[in-house]
Structure 1
Amino acid sequence: MSMQLTGRQIDGVWHTSIVVYGKEIFYGQGISIVQPGQSHHGAPLQIVDMGETALDEETFTEYLTEMREHYTADKYHLLDFNCNSFTNDCIGFLTGGSIPSFIKDLPADFLSTPFGAALRPTIDAMFRGQAGPARPQAAPAPSSSTMPDPALTASLLQAVAARAASGSSSSGYLPTPAPTSPSTPSQAGTASLTAPIHVSTNPASFNALLRSHRAVIAFFTSATCGPCRMIEPVFEELANAKSKSNGVAFTKIDLSVGMGGSVASEWGVRVTPTFIFFLDGKKSHELKGVNGPELRTQVDLLIFQAFPPHPHTSLSLPTIQALSLNPILFTQVPALESVSTKLQGFIDAAPTWSSPLPKAEVKQVLTQLVLPYLKAKHVSKPPLPNVKAPLDRWAQVTLCLSSSLAVNDLFPLVDMWRLALLDPGASTWCASNRSQSNPTSIFLTKANDLLENSTPAVNPRNFLLTVLRMFCNAFSSEVLARELLSSNKTNIATLLVNTLLHSDATVRTAAASLAFNCAGYLQKLRVKKVRGEEVGGDQVEDGDWEVELTSAIIEAIDREEGSEEVVHRLSASIAFLLRLSPFYETQMAPLLEVLQARTVLKNKLEKGGCGPGGVTKQDIRKLVLEVAEKLCP
């Protein structure tokens, strides 16, 4: 289900073990050792030769004895500290290498999707703060617009987590110690792993951490170091508070565990506690001893250097900040029977029919599959949740109709898809569908071709209006919104540039709504970044695209003389495009000066600027003035 849930193919949630000296060793409920291929996980699906080791078995056994104090059942975390973390550490110790990247990087790949980023708090809630070697807690149902089915998601996650953390009863060499009470020193010593702290036990794992994070704070410690225990709570507190920022990692290296001493030697660490601060993989500062205030200062300084705050964060923008980031949606349900009848009439009247599907079969799909699905979702009270969406078949029919009907006759079909995209399952399916039958690609291409080659005999008003409203509804799903603004942003911009200046006021309003949704999605990502939340490594930002869209919106505002609502939505769009933009100083500010954006906006407030008396509604006037005076140079 990975494609439907995340928009990308994930072939497995991999468990790994290492086979060395004739034994299979893995981490779950502590460190377990069994005969190769005889663990409770069964026969391996794949065996990867990781090479040879020059170390003897006795040395490796000593290493495992040290590692068992760290790889205990209560520290297991599905993403941060799992079987693959252990296998990677062992490979690093034995060979200096690391496990394959498609396994090692799986958590990062998963979290880079909106679905994965939204699930992160749920996963943390299952694993963080457990006392003793307990099973993962039941997964609370996620509440997010990216979840096609929160209950299903929670049950799948619980199944994966239970399987991942399950242990073997045959750990003949290193049995898991009996749980101790929370008050005992051994339990207190493991509490640090309830904070988001990485444990590095060899140079390979440490260097991998440096490569994958912009800012790294490394705490070099040892089990016999009293001052280390004094400063450790401060380090853990900072890790809890600061590691939420994407690209920031806190790691602990115990010089007495594994190859921790080799990591220390590589960076010239001779005493503990020592803190080394890394920016883009390079050492930027070193701090020795117990100094909590200085540690806090240096952590803040490193994060500031890695992620300097945007200048707009210091501006007072109460009207802009009060704007809702929720997308504008067109949820009205027409008489579905009438829409279906109209579309069937267009099919019957088609002068030519180039589709390989007969007309009768196309109409059968529409009446027997599509119509019941739409009625179940939008007419039934309450909606029927178990009606299967006929998306693959419907998409084939859509491709057929797009090549057989005149573009003016396609708007009933587009209107049906407009309703369908309000269903999370349908929007997620569209986001993952890379075929030529994807309705978003079909209608976007049709609309842009129509705008470019329109003739007086063609009146595209109905088609363009329904297409714009359909794409507005696509933003009900963050998964589909991300896909559209990642792979179709050029075509989206072309559609907006042409429809924002349309002669029909209703079309202009729909276009302004789509511009608002695009800009609002960008703003939502930027606000999350400022707050230090993970946004899934989103690659939607594009300076040239945002310049083109901003230019079109400023021109549309300048020409809009009749609709205050259009001015309102476009002014909000400009506010979102400019506020916190990473391209503000280099591209946006110079553009605004050339376009005289401040003057254009203020003119809307004057007589004749929009209606006889200019914009009259006070909330719109406040917004226009704030954008003009605070964000336009």
Structure 2
Amino acid sequence: MDVQLYVYDLSQGLARQYSRALTGVQIDAIYHTAIVLNNVEYFFGQGIHRKVPGSTHHGRPMSVVNLGKTDLPLDVIEEYIESLEDIYTPESYDLFLHNCNNFSQDLAMFLVGKSIPDEIRSLPETFLNTPIGQMLRGQLDQSMRKMTQAPDAAAGQNASRNPTAAKPTPNAVANGTPASSTPNATAIHRVAPTAIINAQPPAQSPGHVYNISSLTELDSLLEGARQSCAVVFFTSATCPPCKIVYPTYDELAAEAGVESGAKLIKIDISASPSAHAVAQKYQVRATPTFITFLKGQKQDEWSGANPAQLRGNVRLLLQMTRPPQHQHATLKLPTFQRIINTPIMYTRTPPLDKLLAKIGPEISQAQSVQDLVAYIRARDAKGMTEAPLPDLHAFSAHLASAFPSLPSEKHFVVIDLVRVAAADPRVSSFLVTEHERTTLSTLLSATRSGGDFSSAPYNIQSVSLQLTCNMFGSNVFQEQVFRGQNAAASSVNLKEAVESLASQCLLSPHVNARLMAAALVYNLAAYIHNQRVHAQTTTSTTAADEDAAPSDDLSAALLESITSLVSVNGTDSTTGTGNGNVKGAVNAKETLHALLLALGMLLYAAPPENMLWDLCQAMDLRETLKQIKKTGHGLGDDVKTEPLLKEVGDELLGKGSF
């Protein structure tokens, strides 16, 4: 698929004509750019816009630059652009620091690994370095903002966009620092993880009334409502009272929604002989008459134009069609009776100079690595709005060639550098969609000991787990893990690869590694947990939803990690790498808390046939948790006060088991 850069001149030629006289330097244009692919023009102004190419108020571009081709699927591209909407907000626009050209640069680097022309990227710096530049900065920003962010900036024919899951705005950064909401151009947008892609309940499409006139149509609709309910409203054009309940009936149809499967049907028995025949079959002698059906069987019948009675009867019918509430909803489980909004991430940046010194000149002196470090510094100091992506393709190519020959004791430092960069969803989206996932494959495949992370050095385990947790900050990565969209980058099943890493590190001899593996299981379990919570208030969970649950092998490793925790308690002499949010030896209580949190998410609202219930029973987990709560079970007295022992042991495995 071809990728093009549309280049416009906001000054309409005036910059070329008068710039030297006004500023002392020649400025050929005040550039506005957009990325065009698949007949869609993407640009940043009042947020991110999608238009039919050439239909905006900017008119025809002054030039079109062919950037190359991309093999990425359209749905992955759209997911990535959606991830940029948290960065390229209307409030963050700044003519000199955060404009349409910064957006074009980020998108171009993601799509083809190529920068937009240097003269466009460097224009703000060129102008601000002139004597008059700083003087006129504010005035120019406001005047150009009227052009780039005015209502007509979004004018033009809207281009179709690929259907993707709605992405809610994250409400907080994982480390507790909220994203800036300051409504001005200099607001710093801190690194914030993308929300779990199903943190919001699925949108409910409003239903409608089915106007029919034959028995064949009615039978077809009733068959379609056999697993739900149906209401048949017999009316007549000569019935004034019927018109009183028309608005109420329409309102109830919309309220029922498409997803419920309910059918609200209207038959005007005066409209045709076939409609009158339907009334005769059901022995309707007056209008309005209502007949309801539940699960294919007649439920009720009444006559009369009473809106209150109609509302009460139909809403009760709809309530009866909903699946029974899961027994866990009535337990005392405050930790689990909620939606998981954001993943656990490790976003702390270590001293970069020390990190580069540990890596050594073989990798650190390369320009692509220097550019990556400069980007991280800018991102941490000023926010993502002022940190355009470096050439990640060049970094990946250099890493693939230099990493295998690097001494093994330096591997963890390189992984940690990528871990820091991957806290930005733009970077993690690149890593998961990169052809053959070269960077991830290079880092994670070459660092395993005998092909198994469980016997890898602790520092390798820790940074690998932290890197993978940070990948969940990308909704593109989440889509591929939770919904199986893996065709974009590799034949390797991404979910299986992540589960394998978590399973192996759950059995690590290092307590810290087990804690971070539990954090990764938490991220993996978030999607199915949210599905189950939504199912208690909307529709039932489908088989496809349960397919998103972590595997039985991962569940077994989690249980074994809990029961064997006593064997590693007090023996873990490792110290933290200083590279993440977890430093030093973590006590048993904190590790136990993380493991129980992950287990509770997998158990909550799980169906009776879920293998995890059998595993818990076979391993006598409830008895183990009782012993921990009573005696500490060799883990120390602190663990006896862990509140999740009650929620998981007493409530879920006790009152909530099958």
Q: Normalization by structure 2: what TM-score?
A: 0.54
Structure 2 counterpart of 1:602, one-letter code: K
Q: 1:507 aligns with which of 508, 513, 525?
A: 513
Deviation at 1:155, TM superposition (A): 9.7
| Match of residue 342 from structure 1 | 358
For residues 351-397 of structure 1, the C-alpha deviation after alignment (integer angstroms, 9 at most, x for no partner) is xxxxxxxxx8xx221113x222222222x234444513534444444
| Distance in 2 between residues matched to 1:481 and 1:606, nearest whole Å | 40
Q: Is the 8 A contact 2:503 2:554 kept in 1?
A: yes
| Match of residue 375 from structure 1 | 377
Alignment coverage as a number of residue pairs: 447
1:575 aligns with 2:576: no
Identity in percent: 22
For residues 483-504 of structure 1, the C-alpha deviation after alignment (integer angstroms, 9 at most, x for no partner) is 2234422222222221112112
| Match of residue 498 from structure 1 | 504
For residues 62-105 of structure 1, the C-alpha deviation after alignment (integer angstroms, 9 at most, x for no partner) is xxxxxxxxxxxxxxxxxxxxxxxxxxxxxxxxxxxxxxxxxxxx
- Range moving further from structure 2, 248-257 or 220-229: 248-257
CA RMSD of aligned residues (A): 5.4
Structure 1 counterpart of 2:511, one-letter code: A
Q: 2:477 aligns with which of 473, 476, 480?
A: 480
Q: Which SS does the other structure have where 2:525 is aligned?
A: helix
Q: Is the 8 A contact 1:201 1:259 kept in 2?
A: no
Alignment of 1:145-544 (within 5 A): 196-198=206-208, 215=228, 217=230, 224=237, 225-239=239-253, 241-243=255-257, 246-248=259-261, 274=290, 289-290=303-304, 293=309, 296-297=312-313, 300-301=316-317, 304-305=320-321, 307-321=323-337, 326-345=342-361, 347=363, 363-368=366-371, 370-378=372-380, 380-385=381-386, 387-401=388-402, 405=406, 408-430=409-431, 433=433, 435-437=435-437, 439-440=439-440, 443=443, 445-446=445-446, 450=449, 452=451, 460-487=457-484, 488-532=494-538, 539=544, 541-542=546-547
| Match of residue 549 from structure 1 | 554
Alignment of 1:136-151 (within 5 A): none
Q: Which SS does the other structure have where 1:604 is aligned?
A: helix
Q: Normalization by structure 1: what TM-score?
A: 0.56
Structure 2 counterpart of 1:547, one-letter code: D
| Distance in 2 between residues matched to 1:389 and 1:283, nearest whole Å | 64
Q: Is the 8 A contact 2:507 2:561 kept in 1?
A: yes
Q: 1:610 to 1:268 in 2, by over 3 A?
A: farther
| Distance in 2 between residues matched to 1:462 and 1:549, nearest whole Å | 22
Deviation at 1:601, TM superposition (A): 1.6
Structure 1 counterpart of 2:420, one-letter code: L
Alignment of 1:38-53 (within 5 A): none
| Distance in 2 between residues matched to 1:256 and 1:330, nearest whole Å | 66
Q: Is the 8 A contact 1:428 1:479 kept in 2?
A: yes
Q: 1:473 to 1:226 in 2, by over 3 A?
A: farther
Greater helix fraction, Structure 1 or Structure 2: 1
| Distance in 2 between residues matched to 1:470 and 1:558, nearest whole Å | 27
For residues 380-426 of structure 1, the C-alpha deviation after alignment (integer angstroms, 9 at most, x for no partner) is 23444451353444444444456554665332332233233332333
Structure 2 counterpart of 1:471, one-letter code: T
Q: 1:255 to 1:297 in 2, by over 3 A?
A: closer
Alignment of 1:595-606 (within 5 A): 595-606=619-630
Structure 1 counterpart of 2:496, one-letter code: T
Q: Which SS does the other structure have where 2:208 is aligned?
A: strand
Deviation at 1:452, TM superposition (A): 3.5
| Match of residue 566 from structure 1 | 591
Deviation at 1:567, TM superposition (A): 0.5
Q: Is the 8 A contact 2:632 2:638 kept in 1?
A: yes
Segments of 5+ residues of structure 2 without an aligned counterpart are: 4-36, 41-54, 56-74, 86-109, 111-147, 161-203, 485-493, 570-587
Q: 1:257 to 1:293 in 2, by over 3 A?
A: closer
| Distance in 1 between residues matched to 2:351 and 2:389, nearest whole Å | 21
Structure 1 counterpart of 2:375, one-letter code: Y
For residues 294-332 of structure 1, the C-alpha deviation after alignment (integer angstroms, 9 at most, x for no partner) is 765555555654634322223232354479654322111
Q: Is the 8 A contact 2:229 2:293 kept in 1?
A: yes
Segments of 5+ residues of structure 1 without an aligned counterpart are: 4-9, 14-39, 41-108, 120-147, 165-193, 349-359
Structure 2 counterpart of 1:340, one-letter code: L
Q: 1:418 to 1:455 in 2, by over 3 A?
A: closer
| Distance in 1 between residues matched to 2:539 and 2:153, nearest whole Å | 21
Q: Which SS does the other structure have where 1:591 is aligned?
A: helix
Deviation at 1:550, TM superposition (A): 2.4
Deviation at 1:465, TM superposition (A): 1.0
Q: Which SS does the other structure have where 1:331 is aligned?
A: coil
| Distance in 2 between residues matched to 1:218 and 1:499, nearest whole Å | 55
- Range moving further from structure 2, 339-348 or 286-295: 286-295
| Distance in 2 between residues matched to 1:288 and 1:332, nearest whole Å | 66
Q: Which SS does the other structure have where 1:387 is aligned?
A: coil
